[in-house]
Structure 1
Amino acid sequence: MPLGMETGAIANWQISASSMLLGFMGLQRWAPELARLHRSGIVNAWTASNYDKKPWIQVNLMRKMRVTGVVTQGASRAGSAEYVKTFKVAYSLNGRKFEFVQVDGGFGDKIFVGNVDNNGLRTNMLDTPLEAQYVRLVPVTCHWSCTLRFELLGCELNGCSEPLGLKDYTISDAQITASSTYKTWGVNSFSWYPFYARLDKQGKFNAWTAERNSASEWLQIDLGSQKQVTGIITQGARDFGHIQYVAAYKVAYSDDGLTWTEYKDEGAEESKVFPGNLDNNSHKKNVFETPFLARFVRILPVSWHNRITLRVELLGC
Structure 2
Amino acid sequence: MKRPGNVTPAYVGTFALLLCLHSVTADYCKVNHCYNGATCVTGVGEEPFICICADGFGGDTCNLTETGPCSPNPCKNDGSCEVIAPTRRGDVFNEYICKCQPGFKGVHCQINVNDCEKQPCKNGGQCRDLDGDYSCQCPSPYVGKQCQLRCVSLLGMEGGAIVESQISASSVHYGILGLQRWGPELARLNNQGIVNAWTSATHDKNPWIEINMQKIMRLTGIITQGASRLGTAEYIKAFKVASSLDGNSYITYKVDGQQRDKVFVGNIDNDRTKTNLFDVPIVAQYIRIIPVVCRRACTLRMELLGCELHVYSNTAGCSEPLGMKSRFISDGQLSASSSYRTWGIDTFTWHPQFARLDKVGKTNAWSPAYNNRSEWIQVDLEKTKRLTGIITQGAKDFGVVQFVSVFKVSYSNDGESWSTVKENTGNDKLFQGNTDNNTHKKNVFEPPVYARYVRVIPWEWHERITLRMELLGCDD
Q: What is the TM-score of this pair, normalised by structure 1?
A: 0.78
- Following superposition, the deviation at residue 211 of structure 1 comes to 1.6
Q: Are positions 1:251 and 2:409 aligned together?
A: yes
Q: Are positions 1:288 and 2:445 aligned together?
A: yes
Q: Which residue of 1 aligns with 2:277?
A: 126
Q: Secondary structure at the match of 1:185?
A: helix
- Following superposition, the deviation at residue 61 of structure 1 comes to 2.2
Q: Which residue of 1 aligns with 2:388?
A: 230
- Following superposition, the deviation at residue 192 of structure 1 comes to 1.4
Q: Which residue of 1 aligns with 2:239?
A: 87
- Following superposition, the deviation at residue 8 of structure 1 comes to 8.7
- Following superposition, the deviation at residue 233 of structure 1 comes to 1.7
In 2, are the aligned partners of 1:47 and 1:148 still within 8 Å (CA)? no
- Following superposition, the deviation at residue 45 of structure 1 comes to 3.8
Distance 2:207 2:407 in 1: 39
Residue correspondences, number: 309
Distance 2:244 2:193 in 1: 30
Q: Are positions 1:308 and 2:465 aligned together?
A: yes
Specify which of 335, 344, 351 is matched with residue 193 of structure 1.
Answer: 351
Q: Secondary structure at the match of 2:455?
A: strand
- Following superposition, the deviation at residue 103 of structure 1 comes to 7.8
Specify which of 54, 69, 72 is matched with residue 222 of structure 2.
Answer: 69
In 1, are the aligned partners of 2:242 and 2:250 still within 8 Å (CA)? no
Distance 1:232-1:192 versus aligned 2 partners, 3 A rule: same
Q: Over alpha carbons, which structure has the higher Rg?
A: 2
Q: Which residue of 2 aligns with 1:182?
A: 340
In 2, are the aligned partners of 1:235 and 1:282 still within 8 Å (CA)? yes
Q: What are the residue-to-residue correspondences of 1:1-317 with 2, within 5 Å?
A: 1-4=154-157, 7=160, 9-10=162-163, 12=165, 15-17=168-170, 20=171, 36-37=187-188, 38=191, 45-48=198-201, 50=203, 52=205, 54-67=206-219, 68-74=221-227, 76=229, 83-95=235-247, 96-100=249-253, 102=255, 109-114=262-267, 116-117=269-270, 120=271, 122-126=273-277, 128=279, 129-148=281-300, 150-157=302-309, 158=311, 159-266=317-424, 268-316=425-473, 317=475
Distance 1:111 1:300 in 2: 46
In 2, are the aligned partners of 1:252 and 1:297 still within 8 Å (CA)? yes
Distance 1:250-1:193 versus aligned 2 partners, 3 A rule: same
- Following superposition, the deviation at residue 47 of structure 1 comes to 1.6
Distance 1:72-1:22 versus aligned 2 partners, 3 A rule: closer
Unaligned runs of 5+ in 2: 1-153, 312-316
Report Cα offsets for 1:226-253 as digits up to 9, x if no partner: 3322211222233334333222211111
Distance 2:157 2:227 in 1: 18
- AA paired with 1:160? C
In 2, are the aligned partners of 1:6 and 1:39 still within 8 Å (CA)? no
Q: Secondary structure at the match of 1:309?
A: coil
- Following superposition, the deviation at residue 204 of structure 1 comes to 3.5
In 1, are the aligned partners of 2:161 and 2:472 still within 8 Å (CA)? no
In 2, are the aligned partners of 1:82 and 1:147 still within 8 Å (CA)? yes
In 2, are the aligned partners of 1:72 and 1:123 still within 8 Å (CA)? yes
Q: Which has the higher strand share?
A: 1
Distance 1:22 1:274 in 2: 34
In 2, are the aligned partners of 1:92 and 1:133 still within 8 Å (CA)? yes
Unaligned runs of 5+ in 1: none
Greater relative contact order structure (CA < 8 Å, 6+ sep): 1
Report Cα offsets for 1:9-40 as digits up to 9, x if no partner: 445476253xx37879xx99989756643598
Distance 2:323 2:335 in 1: 15
Distance 1:225-1:143 versus aligned 2 partners, 3 A rule: closer
Distance 1:71-1:104 versus aligned 2 partners, 3 A rule: farther
Q: What is the TM-score of this pair, normalised by structure 2?
A: 0.55
